[in-house]
Structure 1
């Protein structure tokens, strides 16, 4: 880790470049502030990742009664690789605000914005275990990606004192469950994009589109909750200890880590996991996992906010 290089990269973003954020400086500063981690995998470990993904696809298709393929791009990454893979995502999401936002002191604001984005990416790079990337707001026909941040998976398995191959496999089931959602629902990316674009455009204009963000929150709660259900029902080993320890980790950490999670909205994501998982557990217990998978048949099948808290209403509407 080179803190001096990180600070210098942010400070030099006061140059003549256009835009409210210097994304090249973001990448350099984020990578300078976090160790990349080792990618010295044995052949058995590499084969283990491939087997985990292959088995997860087979099990999830069977248990969830959904048809999907895993992305052609599957990468075992270190933390710097993950930052590189996500710079474009962050840039796409921030583009409406960059294009329409105004500022009185553009040089100073550019430094602050650049430093903020670098901090966010470096923090996430140290904590993300796996990622299914649906390439929201991307132009063209780029392939979705499936990433595993190997140094984080190894480190967290040690911190939680759990068997590394079993933990790695459980993470693979979670990320492939996200691939199942987007594969089973070709409309889902466009649905999320439209709400995201509406909300960001409103923010860039100095307004708040509550309906767009509410719709986005409900859809993401369904996405996270269904993945939790499907990974647990399809996983072919014991997982209760993994679930308990990982949930404790999501809520734990020091005061600074908890503050950062709150500022980044990671507490909201945890609530989405919990609220969505409760909804889908009730549905699956009542009608089976296949009935829960009907949420992806069409956009109208997404639960409303009220239905998330009262799954019986959703069942009466969608699966009477």
Structure 2
């Protein structure tokens, strides 16, 4: 059948398998199996791209010159406002106005990066289950079927990922809208098609909304360009979580035992619902907690900077609350991604993180606040989100130029207090003799008697 040289009688195939197949369906099955054999053992990411682009190109694809002019103007003004709210420098590349299809092409490599461990787990589980569950008399016939199952499983997962990313392209309004850095480093972009849908039911003027969205997108892109370590930090956390994902073989075997060939959508539904993904392990829960804290820290900073930069807008507070609720709720595509990969991208501590950044800004100012992004070791932790007093104290000491350890600083403060209280000489270089009198006092006495002091004058 896979060689294509012979023909299979659909009636005979139906008697052997109980599957009602007409000639057209048989031809489609043969074509899919040949494609799977030719794909090799890897995940056919080209299938994911085709599916995503197909969904991204549905509907109204036009981006008018008027849309570009309006959003370009908003991005230009947003850049000026943002420079007043943060000391993090401007982008080297001009922000872009892109279509949904362009967003798919730009971001798909990142989606592949953290989805690949899950796809590998699924295809390995399919192959392993086939080898373990097949009857002994059929195992010699199925020795070469592992490659087919691996290719079919990979193709199925790639198709599902493509549909999720394609659906996401119809929901996101900017490059950084999903929270993780899916756009190339240092690039910012707005999707005018989705921006129009986002503002359609809001009682907010389009120019105000465009400015707020532009400021948020530029703040997100500036941050990841400035803190070059941050992008790798986020993606490594995502990858660490994804590599721990396995497939629930019991659920897979249960699905196989009741699988109805006349309902092939059942396997796809199981993938979409997350039924094949087991409960998170302890290591995964720890990785997920770190990732959620990291994403909340990033989004909280973006929230505070955007709020400060857009303070001139009459409805700035309403826009901020709308965006915050949208970020917290997510969309259907992100929910599908959570089911497919097991990863929730929406930070749950967004408000607490924003409150921390606001407290830091009011306590030490913008310059000290933004210096926390210079090195990974400076970044606030989950404990700092709960209580920012420690990091505020640290920034205040740095602002005073006191880089010594805290114990040394305390000793210095105590010494200064004793000097001011008259407990010690103001000159720390003064030596004391055995009687407790200083050399300087002895020299002064000698000079008063007309004699020269013994030894060199200090």
Q: TM-score range by the shorter chain?
A: 0.7 to 0.9
Counterpart CA distance in 1 for 2:203 and 2:44 is 40
Cα distance change of structure 1 residues 270 and 187 upon mapping to structure 2, 3 Å threshold: closer
Asked if the contact 2:101–2:169 (Cα under 8 Å) also holds between the matched residues in 1, the reply is: yes
Cα distance change of structure 1 residues 230 and 196 upon mapping to structure 2, 3 Å threshold: same
Query: Tell me, which stretches of 5 or more residues in structure 2 are unaligned?
Result: 1-27, 128-148, 248-279, 398-458
Question: Does structure 1 residue 187 correspond to structure 2 residue 187?
Answer: no
Spell out the pairing of 1:284-299 with structure 2 (5 A cutoff). Answer: 284-299=361-376
Cα distance change of structure 1 residues 318 and 252 upon mapping to structure 2, 3 Å threshold: closer
Partner of 1:17: 39
The alignment's TM-score, normalised by the length of structure 2, stands at 0.57
Partner of 1:88: 109
- DSSP 3-state at the match of 1:131: coil
Hey, which of these two has a bigger chunk of helix by percent? Answer: 1
Spell out the pairing of 1:1-320 with structure 2 (5 A cutoff). Answer: 12=32, 14=36, 16-19=38-41, 21-34=43-56, 35=58, 37-43=60-66, 45-66=67-88, 68-72=89-93, 74-96=95-117, 102-103=124-125, 104=127, 105-132=149-176, 144-203=186-245, 208=283, 212-235=287-310, 236-238=312-314, 239-250=316-327, 260=336, 263=339, 268-320=345-397
Cα distance change of structure 1 residues 287 and 248 upon mapping to structure 2, 3 Å threshold: same
CA offsets 1:91-147 (integer angstroms, 9 cap, x no match): 233345556772313244224312320232122112100014999699xxx753222
Counterpart CA distance in 2 for 1:292 and 1:214 is 24
Larger radius of gyration, structure 1 or 2? 2
Counterpart CA distance in 2 for 1:155 and 1:137 is 22
Aligned-residue offset at 1:250: 4.9
Q: How many residues align?
A: 305
Asked if the contact 2:164–2:337 (Cα under 8 Å) also holds between the matched residues in 1, the reply is: no
Which range moves more in the overlay, 190-199 or 259-268? 259-268
Cα distance change of structure 1 residues 283 and 77 upon mapping to structure 2, 3 Å threshold: same
Counterpart CA distance in 2 for 1:244 and 1:102 is 44
Query: Tell me, which stretches of 5 or more residues in structure 1 are unaligned?
Result: 1-7
- DSSP 3-state at the match of 1:16: helix
Counterpart CA distance in 2 for 1:16 and 1:275 is 51
CA offsets 1:208-266 (integer angstroms, 9 cap, x no match): 45555444333222111101110110114131222233344456699x67954864789
Asked if the contact 1:276–1:308 (Cα under 8 Å) also holds between the matched residues in 2, the reply is: yes
RMSD: 3.6
Could you say which structure has the greater relative contact order, defined with CA pairs below 8 angstroms and 6 or more residues apart?
Answer: 1
- DSSP 3-state at the match of 2:90: coil
Aligned-residue offset at 1:150: 0.9
Cα distance change of structure 1 residues 95 and 253 upon mapping to structure 2, 3 Å threshold: closer
